[in-house]
Structure 1
Amino acid sequence: MEANEKNDQLEFALNVLNHPELLQDEYVREWLSHAENKKLYEECRLYLEAGLKLEVGDSLDVKSEFEKFNRKMQSPVRAFYRWTAAAAAVVILVASGWWLMNESSSREIGQDVIAGLQHVVVPGKNQAVLVTETGREIVLGTTSGTSVMVEGGVNVVDDSTRGVSYTTSEAVEVHYHTLRVPKGGEYRIVLSDGTEVWLNSESELKFPTVFTGGKREVELRGEGYFSVAHDGHLPFIVVASGVRTKVYGTEFNVKAYAGNQVDVTLVEGKVAVKQAGDGSEYPLAPGENAHFAEGMAPLIEKVNVHKYIAWKEGYFYYENERMEVIVNDLKRWYDFDVVYVGSGVKDLKFELWSGRDSDIDTIMGLLTKTNKVNVRLDGRTLIVSERNK
């Protein structure tokens, strides 16, 4: 392979890493199907994660490097920019080079920072429980390709790596099932029409075993990413905390945890959103987010989509986000409790990007090294306090 071609492949891999939403593109998937390209992508990913592991040491100007990274993330969804990849290469080389050269000292720093943290809190995994209409509970995520007859004419196939899928006979009664994903879990389901749904931690999806009538409707509690099978005559409707999202075939994310506001983020295609008690429908274009707060019309604006769908691609990604929001997501995934010490600690803001497979001490170490907070894990309770200035 010529040097220029190698550089092009490297830039392409780095651009995909910095824009995980591109992994949905058919062209990118085809590129990754080649072993050499996949190897290059994974090597870049490992370097990037290594660089982020303890990149906030004294030898690295984290603020400026994050600002560079943040600017890269602002480029439009689905767009390829060579300068973006080139800038990414600089950040990765600086960060990972620093970490690799200081690996032993980094370990010492990390141990000092997170002194007292116990390794009893681990990242989440693929796990869920399928509840049938009769109340039968089927534990998912422990088998590989196992088929289970759940009700007359309805089969589910469970695969611990690919999720659960439905098959039905031609003549089958409609039953309603609920897929429950606990704290510390995530799961993918393929509905009877071919629609794919990824559920985040502490989420539930209620759905019919087969769609009939003039619509396809499901109910969501928590967070889910939807890739809807196209049907121009049969709309797909997601109901979440009083917000109805109607589509015919598209990809979007819905976040609607109990007690929180609702966000609907469109990745591609077209959707319309509507709030209970409001007769108006609001259309969204790709790259837009509709934010619903109780008693108010939705705030619709262009956003960095990656911020909303990073969880589905295996990352935590936050831009100037409140501590409480970050910790709420972390505690769902790692399944711990939290205690805040100090009236203002919840409102402190941070930038953070890390893999969801990272140890909790690595993530909390990154937050601690900002010199804004102290963190301590007491058993399964995280204690967060504002650092005295």
Structure 2
Amino acid sequence: MFGKNSWRTFSQKYDIIYNFFSHPPFFSWLCVLTILMIFYWDITQAKDMLKEEQDKIKETLSISDKISDILSKELDVGSQHVLDSWLAQNEQNKALFNKICSDNTIREKIYNYKNSDAEQAFNDFLKARKQRSNRRIYYRFLSGAAVIAICFGFWALIRIQEQETQNLQVTETEQQLSDMPANKPVLTLGDGTRMNVWGDNLYFKETEKGQKIMLGDSLLSQKEDSITADSYNTLEVPLRCDFNFTMSDGTRVWINAASTLKYPAKFAADSRTVYASGEIYLEVAKDAGRPFYVVVDGITVKVLGTSFNIRAYADENDTKVTLLEGKIAAQINDKEYTLTPGKQLKRDKTFGETSVRTVDPAEIVSWTRGYYIFKKARLQEVVNTLKNWYGVNIMLSSGASDIIYTGVVNKEEKLEVFLRRLEEVSNVKCSCNGKFVTIY
């Protein structure tokens, strides 16, 4: 088919091509070119992935803020629109939102999330990575870090603590601590009449001759011609319970567990004076002509219209008065202390020492919202609060009293949940025996 000359020509061309492709430098450059092309593709893909992951992280942080605002009742109209749009995207978002709002431990996650600047931390991370990238571009690692950051964002919001029963040190008893029945508040009227009260719509209404006690639209009691100047009602709130109601002057009162409030069946024309023990929170109705006084543990607190919290349990060494809004004056013997919002007066019952300090009001009155916030609190203080709510005796070893605890306790969750969580975050063990709990 080929002539002699034709075959020689073909052989020469083949040798040239073969020698070119078999030359070692050619394969070296080919490998280098291939690696560069792959690396360029990786960089392009990594940039796109990083941009996408950054957007996801920012959306996660934004939605996390919106949901946390809902749980703390701080969501504004604009944020509500953003959240509604996110919920409308798909059913998975709705399911996630419902899970967050219904989970018993989510308030602790929300609290920890809101007290850590996750977005700032991520921005700092990106800035540090950008500085290092001038020396070495490694986008695959950066993309992985971004994915980890997303996981952290969701973890801060919705990670559910998995409990392994074989590691629990809490001894289960025949009767669960949290299954013990809770009593109802008892209202004792000036004439000695006693009644159980409940619900969130209890309020008192003064009449010309006496008072009406209303629960919503229902009349619980009506006293006529039996109200005298020294007639007092006493509302006692037992362990494992709290209660709120509206007084006849419009003042709103929240009473915590193991607390008592004594107040006139009918306020005087020139003043309003009540007597408290335990812990109460008041939103006093303004009435310039009738200043409001709260007497507790030798302290008289005078207000015209304000919101403040008083904690004065008989078995605790300190009496604390915390102001949220307005202005109050606390009279102790012959000395007067004026408090402004965010300040707390603390009086040592044993030595009579008094001090004023700055506190976080939201932490102090969190109990009125259905949970307790503890921020760098001594475990002894945490125990003092929880024993009244759960109605148990909690004993601490000497070494455990000074342990610092930060977290949130949902008042609806079982005591065992808190004890297990405490074991996880600190080096203590807990055991239960009926109404007695030991932490050591």
Q: Which TM class, normalised by the smaller chain length?
A: 0.7 to 0.9
Q: Equivalents in 1 of 2:76, 2:300: separation in Å?
A: 32
Q: Which structure is larger by alpha-carbon Rg, 1 or 2?
A: 2
Q: 2:65 maps to what in 1?
A: 11
Compare the two structures and name the one with the higher strand fraction.
1
Q: Is 1:168–1:210's contact at 8 Å kept on the other side of the alignment?
A: no
Q: How does 1:181-330 map to 2 (within 5 A)?
A: 181-260=237-316, 261-275=318-332, 277=333, 279-294=334-349, 295-296=351-352, 298-330=354-386
Q: How does 1:19-168 map to 2 (within 5 A)?
A: 20=72, 23=73, 44-46=100-102, 49-50=105-106, 52=108, 66=112, 69-70=114-115, 93-99=154-160, 106-107=162-163, 109-110=164-165, 112-118=167-173, 120-122=176-178, 127-141=184-198, 153-158=210-215
Q: Is 1:165–1:190's contact at 8 Å kept on the other side of the alignment?
A: no
CA RMSD across the alignment: 4.5
Q: Is 1:252–1:267's contact at 8 Å kept on the other side of the alignment?
A: yes
Q: Percent identity?
A: 24
Q: Equivalents in 2 of 1:211, 1:234: separation in Å?
A: 9
Q: C-alpha deviations, 1:58-86, integer Å up to 9, x for none?
A: xxxxxxx95x65457xxxxxxxxx979x9
5+ residue gaps, structure 2, are 1-55, 86-93, 124-149
Q: 1:147 to 1:179 in 2, by over 3 A?
A: closer
Q: Equivalents in 1 of 2:120, 2:272: separation in Å?
A: 43
The one-letter code of the counterpart of 2:154 is: L
Compare the two structures and name the one with the higher helix fraction.
2
| Structure 1 position 371, deviation (Å) | 3.8
The one-letter code of the counterpart of 1:326 is: V
Instruction: Tell me the TM-score normalized by structure 1.
Output: 0.73
Q: 1:96 to 1:184 in 2, by over 3 A?
A: same
SS at match of 1:369: helix
Q: Equivalents in 1 of 2:259, 2:219: separation in Å?
A: 15
Q: Equivalents in 1 of 2:418, 2:249: separation in Å?
A: 39
Q: 1:235 to 1:116 in 2, by over 3 A?
A: same
| Structure 1 position 41, deviation (Å) | 8.3
Q: Equivalents in 2 of 1:282, 1:219: separation in Å?
A: 19
Aligned pairs, number: 342
Q: 1:166 to 1:231 in 2, by over 3 A?
A: farther
5+ residue gaps, structure 1, are 56-64, 73-81
Q: C-alpha deviations, 1:146-187, integer Å up to 9, x for none?
A: 9999xx73221236xx99999888995442010000111111
Q: 1:177 to 1:83 in 2, by over 3 A?
A: farther
Q: Equivalents in 1 of 2:64, 2:236: separation in Å?
A: 40
Q: Is 1:114–1:361's contact at 8 Å kept on the other side of the alignment?
A: no
Q: 1:242 to 1:42 in 2, by over 3 A?
A: farther
Q: Equivalents in 1 of 2:252, 2:200: separation in Å?
A: 20
Q: Is 1:126–1:141's contact at 8 Å kept on the other side of the alignment?
A: no
Higher relative contact order by CA 8 Å / sep ≥ 6: 1 or 2?
A: 1
Instruction: Tell me the TM-score normalized by structure 2.
Output: 0.65
Q: 1:164 to 1:238 in 2, by over 3 A?
A: farther
